Structure 1
Amino acid sequence: MMKSVELLAPAGNMIALHAAVSAGADAVYLGASSFNARRSADNFTLETLREACDYAHLRGVKVYLTVNTIILPSELYDALELVRQAYRAGVDAFIVQDLGLAQEIARTIPQTRVHISTQMNTHTKDALVAEAALGAKRVTLARELSLTEVADLSHFAAELGMETECFAHGALCVCYSGQCFMSSMVGGRSANRGMCAQACRLPYELRNRALRKSLDAPGEHLLSPKDLCTAEILPDLIRAGVSSLKVEGRMKSPEYVSCVVRIYRSVLDRFNAWASAQLEDGVSEENFDWANAPRATAEEIQELSEAFSRGFTTAYLEGERGNEIMSYARPNNRGSFAGRIANVKGSRIEIDPAFPLVAGDVLEFWTNKGNIIHEIDALETLPGGRVVLKIEKPLGKGDRVFRVRSAEAAFHDVAGEPRIPLLIRVKMHIGHPLELALATPDPWDAARKVEIFVEGAPIEPARTKAVSAEEVIEHIDRLGSTPFKLDHIEVELDEGVGIGFSALHKIRAQACEQLEEALLARYHERVLEKAPSRVFAPRIRKGSCKVAVLATNPACARAAKRAGADFIYVPVHNYRRGEAIIAGQLSQTAEQAGYPKGCIPVLPVVAHDGDSAARNGFDVWKRVQEDKPVLVQNLGQIVHARELGAQVEVGPYVPLTNRLDMQLAHDLGATRIWLSSELTLRQIEELGEVSPVPLGATIMGYTELMVTEHCLLMSQGPCNRDCAQCARRKSSHYLKDRKGYELPVITDVLGRSHLYNAVELDVAHAVPDLVAAGVSALMVDTTLMNVEQVSKKVARAVRARDIALKSGDKVSRADGTTTGHLFRGVS
């Protein structure tokens, strides 16, 4: 028998939760007022969370709470207390980003489930091994994976005793989740804190730095992906082995949630019926006729697009990485293509519709002077199907028409509130107590029934009019204010029985209340046992402070050494011959053999398991050696590097932001932690007071804001996908935003793009404060610098370090730079 795949729906508020449950969700995910990645949604208080859990659980629907933000030092107690209270309220699982918090939940509440958030950027088997060790039971996979990769990871996760979850529908981030710092650095609103300002949906120009001109593109929204829709490939996702299909949309309306969940429920139900029939016919799952498995119909796709759509894509699931994923033309809802204007005669607009239009539909006309919205109040249909509207707007022949809201869909009647079927037995025998028995299937065990039995006052003979069985049924069936509905009733009634109807109402209410409590007992009777005290390793003693340099070519590495750098770090991409980067531009002339001895390799933030085989034979682990240092950039790399016997330094893109994280890094064998760019000086001080691992901080350079699977240079047009030989990479590019800021773009040998801040970070003047806070290594990131700039910047860092250690003095603040979040923090 095939395992049942869960349909997981978003619930930004109670109305959306009701809509999701009514539409057929198996589980919902929601957030509290803090520590969730959608803080702008209505979200839930502890009181409304209990109400939500009871409502869902009575109907056999699970509830998952998102605690999917980084947890700062001062927030750790509150985050853990929220988890404890939410568990008591009935939450079935916690969706978590913070590594230390995930491990602590699994340790202190072993009877609950930890689900790893997509914010943890899981895209390798090594990451799955690490997450299983943390105590996770499910992992939400990165959205940048192919179906083949999803299948490989899902099968491997199953071997580790974990499930996988995959996004099936909704908005896509252009950046790998958990790795976006654009909203944070540009506007102070951190995506890792649930406050993303969606800077990716704004207009940009791609420009060539040498030409100083804008390059042609199909639109101006160069960072805006289409929306994910897998309704037509659901059988392929199921075949890949995922356990849960997730709908994005905690910021969307209840109507949107209802529509999307209802359609995916329908497709899943049709698939399950088809699969069951195949199995009954003796066909094994491996031999299913997968090509003909049920998928969404054209009508269902159209309805989905009208609920909300920037245009649909299956993202990377089917192996595409090009422009077909992007919505360059517009970043918001585009609805369904409804046709083109066939003729214009004054205010008389004739349209050849792609499907029937009706009064109440809302149309959007795309003209060369902007878009025009119009709600149809009346229309005329001509022979042949052409429709005529009267619109007093400047429209032209050939303009495209989209339906962004369907009047019929707006009034679609989803089958009301789901109610729980009751089997009722009533016994009314004179001289014996009134008996009422209620039974209903256990929502968590279909083979079991939950039953309750209630007795009332003794039955007496009627003094005037006797009660009929029909009257008993009519009054017992008054269940409107309860979550129940009558499925079947049996009444044993002596002749001549008399009883007041209020007595029937009272026993019915009492029985329903007891049955409701019996159904929820497994949640309401939860007890939290006291967990063993956590033992923390002692704080590391402060040592000497070193200056480190991230260099992307041999010439800059040598210049950094001459300027006094203690350590040189080199991204493994740039070790490859022909892959040196100078001032953000691919250089074919840099002498690869010229790197100084003892350089420390830096692994990429993203490195899929199949990269070495599929992408130019590039092996990111080639330079990792036993007993030698390596800087890793994700959780899985920590595990693998330790298996190779390397000395592991954890990079700033692994968000370690509280004491639990520090301890976890220590337990994993980390020799240094490079701190997140989103921490303030005060927060660094708090970590320095407890960290058992030496700390490092980046003090100069351009902060990487995004790493994207989609190559941003492809907006110029299609390419041959030979990233190693790409001519475009030999030029320096940047995105120009609407305020005139220039954000540098680099695409690496594997075709992934890296977007950098327009303003350089420089906190060299704060080195005395950082050293006092416990920082013992200072990084200068020279990725976008030339040799002369490297020499000056490194010399400045060395001088800042030296005078800070010698006298406590500080260098002057650099003009035209930013201090990042060191003093302003993030919201």
Structure 2
Amino acid sequence: MAAPCPKNVELLAPAGNMECLHAAVKAGADAVYLGAGHFNARRGADNFSLENLAEACDYAHLRGVKIYLTLNTVVLPSELPDALELARQAYRCGVDAFIVQDIGISIELSRIMPDVEVHVSTQMNIHDEDGLRAAAALGATRVTLARELSLAEIARLHELAEELGVELESFAHGALCICYSGQCFMSSLVGGRSANRGRCAQACRLPYELHNRALRKTLDAPGEHLLSPKDLCTANLIPELLHAGVASLKIEGRMKSPESVQAVVGVYRAVIDRVEAAIDRDGIDSVVASDAPELRASEEEMNVLSEAFSRGFTTAYLKGKRGNEIMSYGRPNNRGVFVGRVAKVREGLVFIDPETELHVGDLIEFWTNRGHFVHTIGEFKTDRAGRVFFPVERAVGKGDRVFRVRNAEAAFVDDDKLPSVAVCARAELRIGQPALLTFTVAAGDASVTVEGPEVEAARTKAITEKEVREHIDRMGTTPFYLSSLEIDLDEGVGMGFSMLHKLRARAAEELQEAILAHYHARKLERTPSRAFAPVVRRGWCKVAALATNPACARAAKRAGADLIYVPAANYRRGEAVIAGQLSDTAEQAGYPKQCIPVLPTVSQMFDEEKRNGFDTWKRVKADKPVMVENLGQLLHATEMGAAPEVGPHIPVTNKLDLQAMADLGAQRVWLSPELSLVQIEELGDMAPMPLGLTIMGQTELMVTEHCLLMSQGPCNQKCAECARRKSPHYLKDRKGYEMPVITDCTGRSHLYNAVQMDVAHLMPEIIGAGVSTVLVDTTLMNVKETTEKVARAVRARDIAQKDGNKVAKAEGATSGHLFRGVS
């Protein structure tokens, strides 16, 4: 039996600055998420200082809106004190929750601030039941789920979430990442800015070509933006999301304008209110089954969303689809709302048959056969046929399409000084008794009563009820307005208007203090320092190899590799399938003995494994090593009694992360490719377990739920037997770099760096930094290349540990981030 859906879903809005916060609150957001400092995933937004963060919290809390602070980046060793201090100061400012990616910081915040909620960011890549259990074990009260989940998968997770006491949050609107969040190295290795540090370079929005290497040809595609998804829009899926158990609907957009925030939040507020009213009236099952138009966004509302920002809309993976319908191959930026077509061009004037009203100041875009260009409408006229015409500097042709990308009439006016909190008031003016004025928040619990001097009988003119009402209702610059006023007035009362003004001012001031008292009274109690596990002793450095087929695994072993790692899927799928072989163990598949399984970055969802005839955990044995690539796998492996090694897709970048991994049972940690040598050395000095580092191979840049090979056209979705997978493919960028693409047996694509990494010449420094295992990734190597690279790594290790000497630097290879790091 499915768990009941949340009674009232939260509408969570973005704010990149104070003006956007005002827009979100004004439009009806229940909560707002924002960033402060450098530890948030939108460092390009204006963001908030500690000074205006306190102001933002007060502004929101007075209006019954919660504030969530994003700390959703990885935190480097030297930054840890600053990140924790920011959290402490934000706590004093009054934030209601922290949205966190860093595992160690998540645990630490729950420890030192137990009364503040910790929400797990989508950057933590929680997408299955094991991940949900792990998030709860960290102390999370809410999990922002991966965008790649379907409604059915969310509903199944909700059943477990109810047992764990964890809320589920799902993205409802805005930009989609093509890569699983928190798993993208493309931005840093190709664009020079790390998405995991809040500085995404948007490399996925650039043009690419898909090539078949075997056929030596460029493959046709519907456009050139092969990594660019459409924008998510669930305005027509609100009943289904609530039925699935989503507690919070999140709108993406901390880089968006106040106008965009206000427009999108306003539409979702209206749709949610209609849906929840229908649920209260008819029940959730009836609402989900209904096709009543008021339960979906209207055409007008969809136009508002499109005008706010749109690359074209999709429900993404929520309906269980992951094909070309989610992609915006032709355009990576805002396309706006269709206005009409060019009817004619005459003497420098463009005539348009408009399908929507245009305004002076609108920004429109012409789609011509020579490309696209934008134009701001100045003065325009309308002819007898209803066609709008105005001069345009550039050439357009009859039939060209016109879109509006900014509506001048939708400009946001920041009138935050206007009162917006409804108050119920009661005035008691009884002769011989103190004057009393009570203010109660209409939609809350806060209430105050202020007392004035004793009420006297009038000596001349008595005050009237109308005058009392008029003077108490003058709320001025306070955030309050009177929704009702009850007056208990004796006949013949004498009172000056100034006394009413003082009572009203005191009541407003004290009500404001009462609403904020809980937040302003916050103090951080001193918590004892954590005890950290002892630093592990460094021993002889081992050479490991990651091999995806038996031949390369055997070659690596012969070349001197001490350890062989094999993706778990390749024991039964991958290369073995192409050869028509099915094997259950590494040895049966032709791999050497005692290979260590590597679990997939994205765990198989629920029944997907059964459909593909593959069981991830069949390869994991008690007391045997296994490399895990997400948090849920780590918890599961530890519970099985295995010896888990944390892979590089789980970011371990500071002391708290290292301790968290030790507490969760990690026997080795493989470090992120975004760490510099200096940062690795900082971790090596404090690591309670051995550290590993990939030193050769082509780094995986992305893992995508959408199969990148589908740009060629639709397929039969039988991924394990897919003929396209047999041929090697690559994406070619504008500079001519060729990035290999491999789609696995589940249909997920893996994109690799165009340039080989080889840092074997830095072996003395790497070992000196505390690394005790180095890995050669042979995923894209043949047997000959595998033999040469593993032998080079063994030789580099041997001479480095014998006398500190180095092998020569490999020509044409990159050192990744070992020297430059990421900012």
The reply to whether TM is greater than 0.5 is yes
AA aligned opposite 1:183: S
Question: Retained in 2: the 8 A contact 1:114–1:137?
Answer: yes
CA distance in 2, matches of 1:799, 1:604: 30
Is 1:395 aligned with 2:396?
yes
Per the alignment, do residues 393 and 382 of structure 1 end up closer, same or farther by CA in structure 2, a change over 3 Å counting? farther
CA distance in 1, matches of 2:720, 2:212: 19
Q: Which residue of 2 aligns with 1:59?
A: 63
Q: List aligned pairs for 1:746-761, cutoff 5 A.
A: 746-761=742-757
Query: Which of 235, 239, 247 is equivalent to 1:235?
Result: 239
CA distance in 2, matches of 1:104, 1:289: 41
Structure 1 counterpart SS, 2:619: coil
Per the alignment, do residues 416 and 259 of structure 1 end up closer, same or farther by CA in structure 2, a change over 3 Å counting? farther
Structure 1 counterpart SS, 2:127: coil
Is 1:565 aligned with 2:561?
yes
Question: Retained in 2: the 8 A contact 1:611–1:618?
Answer: no
Deviation at 1:75, TM superposition (A): 1.8
Structure 1 counterpart SS, 2:589: helix
CA distance in 2, matches of 1:95, 1:392: 48
Question: Retained in 2: the 8 A contact 1:22–1:416?
Answer: no
Q: List aligned pairs for 1:42-191, cutoff 5 A.
A: 42-191=46-195
Query: Which of 11, 27, 30 is equivalent to 2:15?
Result: 11
CA distance in 1, matches of 2:561, 2:10: 53
Question: Retained in 1: the 8 A contact 2:240–2:288?
Answer: no
AA aligned opposite 1:308: F
Question: Retained in 2: the 8 A contact 1:21–1:418?
Answer: no
Question: Retained in 1: the 8 A contact 2:418–2:477?
Answer: no
Deviation at 1:182, TM superposition (A): 0.9
Question: Retained in 2: the 8 A contact 1:729–1:746?
Answer: yes
Question: Retained in 1: the 8 A contact 2:424–2:442?
Answer: no
Structure 2 counterpart SS, 1:365: strand
Q: List aligned pairs for 1:185-334, cutoff 5 A.
A: 185-279=189-283, 285-286=284-285, 288=287, 290-292=289-291, 294-334=295-335
Q: Deviations over 1:541-561 (max 9, x none)?
A: 112210000111122111111
Is 1:667 aligned with 2:663?
yes
Q: Deviations over 1:659-708 (max 9, x none)?
A: 11111111221111101111111211111111111110111111111111
Q: Deviations over 1:693-745 (max 9, x none)?
A: 11101111111111111111111222222222222222222112112222111
CA distance in 2, matches of 1:822, 1:391: 52
CA distance in 1, matches of 2:581, 2:611: 23
Q: Deviations over 1:290-311 (max 9, x none)?
A: 2335111121111100110000
Deviation at 1:412, TM superposition (A): 9.6
Query: Which of 817, 823, 826 is equivalent to 2:819?
Result: 823
Per the alignment, do residues 289 and 747 of structure 1 end up closer, same or farther by CA in structure 2, a change over 3 Å counting? closer
Deviation at 1:453, TM superposition (A): 2.4
CA distance in 2, matches of 1:580, 1:53: 57
Deviation at 1:461, TM superposition (A): 6.7
Deviation at 1:338, TM superposition (A): 3.1
Deviation at 1:475, TM superposition (A): 2.6
Q: Which residue of 1 aligns with 2:710?
A: 714
CA distance in 1, matches of 2:589, 2:552: 13
Question: Retained in 2: the 8 A contact 1:179–1:707?
Answer: yes
Q: Which residue of 1 aligns with 2:647?
A: 651
Q: Deviations over 1:584-613 (max 9, x none)?
A: xx7889998332111111111012323644
Structure 2 counterpart SS, 1:825: coil
**Which structure 1 segments of 5+ residues have no match?**
280-284, 444-448
Q: Which residue of 2 aligns with 1:380?
A: 382
Question: Retained in 2: the 8 A contact 1:123–1:608?
Answer: no
AA aligned opposite 1:233: L
Is 1:737 aligned with 2:767?
no
Question: Retained in 1: the 8 A contact 2:572–2:589?
Answer: no
Query: Which of 18, 22, 29 is equivalent to 2:26?
Result: 22
AA aligned opposite 1:84: R
Per the alignment, do residues 707 and 578 of structure 1 end up closer, same or farther by CA in structure 2, a change over 3 Å counting? closer
Question: Retained in 2: the 8 A contact 1:552–1:580?
Answer: no
Q: Aligned-pair RMSD on alpha carbons? A: 2.5
Query: Which of 40, 46, 54 is equivalent to 2:44?
Result: 40
Q: List aligned pairs for 1:624-643, cutoff 5 A.
A: 624-643=620-639
Structure 2 counterpart SS, 1:670: coil
AA aligned opposite 1:363: I
Question: Retained in 2: the 8 A contact 1:22–1:414?
Answer: no
AA aligned opposite 1:180: C
Structure 1 counterpart SS, 2:303: helix
Is 1:616 aligned with 2:606?
no
CA distance in 2, matches of 1:509, 1:430: 22
Deviation at 1:457, TM superposition (A): 4.4
Question: Retained in 1: the 8 A contact 2:264–2:308?
Answer: yes
Q: Which residue of 2 aligns with 1:454?
A: 450
AA aligned opposite 2:49: T
Deviation at 1:141, TM superposition (A): 0.4
Structure 1 counterpart SS, 2:533: coil
Q: Deviations over 1:592-635 (max 9, x none)?
A: 83321111111110123236446522322232222221111001
Structure 2 counterpart SS, 1:50: helix
AA aligned opposite 2:92: R
Moved more, 44-53 or 455-464: 455-464
Q: TM-score, normalised by structure 1?
A: 0.93
AA aligned opposite 1:153: L
Question: Retained in 2: the 8 A contact 1:359–1:379?
Answer: no
Moved more, 477-486 or 368-377: 368-377
Question: Retained in 1: the 8 A contact 2:427–2:436?
Answer: yes
CA distance in 2, matches of 1:615, 1:745: 24
Question: Retained in 1: the 8 A contact 2:75–2:653?
Answer: yes
Q: List aligned pairs for 1:760-775, cutoff 5 A.
A: 760-775=756-771
Deviation at 1:456, TM superposition (A): 3.4
CA distance in 2, matches of 1:334, 1:779: 45
Question: Retained in 2: the 8 A contact 1:235–1:290?
Answer: no
AA aligned opposite 2:642: A
Q: Which residue of 2 aligns with 1:282?
A: none
Moved more, 171-180 or 399-408: 399-408
Per the alignment, do residues 601 and 613 of structure 1 end up closer, same or farther by CA in structure 2, a change over 3 Å counting? closer
AA aligned opposite 1:200: C
What is the total number of aligned residue pairs between the two structures? 812
Question: Retained in 2: the 8 A contact 1:94–1:115?
Answer: yes
AA aligned opposite 1:761: M
Q: Which residue of 2 aligns with 1:371?
A: 372
Query: Which of 673, 693, 700 is equivalent to 2:689?
Result: 693
Structure 2 counterpart SS, 1:746: strand
Structure 2 counterpart SS, 1:593: coil
Query: Which of 673, 676, 688 is equivalent to 1:677?
Result: 673
Question: Retained in 2: the 8 A contact 1:23–1:414?
Answer: no
Question: Once the two structures are aligned, what percentage of the paired residues are identical?
Answer: 66
Q: List aligned pairs for 1:488-637, cutoff 5 A.
A: 488-492=484-488, 500-577=496-573, 579=575, 593-610=589-606, 612-613=608-609, 615-637=611-633
CA distance in 2, matches of 1:571, 1:348: 63
Question: Retained in 1: the 8 A contact 2:419–2:481?
Answer: no
Q: Which residue of 2 aligns with 1:791?
A: 787
Deviation at 1:379, TM superposition (A): 4.2
CA distance in 1, matches of 2:150, 2:719: 19
Deviation at 1:649, TM superposition (A): 0.9
AA aligned opposite 2:722: C
Moved more, 12-21 or 385-394: 385-394
Per the alignment, do residues 273 and 381 of structure 1 end up closer, same or farther by CA in structure 2, a change over 3 Å counting? farther
Question: Retained in 1: the 8 A contact 2:23–2:412?
Answer: no
Question: Retained in 1: the 8 A contact 2:158–2:244?
Answer: yes
Question: Retained in 1: the 8 A contact 2:239–2:287?
Answer: no
CA distance in 1, matches of 2:611, 2:36: 42
Moved more, 749-758 or 361-370: 361-370
CA distance in 1, matches of 2:381, 2:821: 55
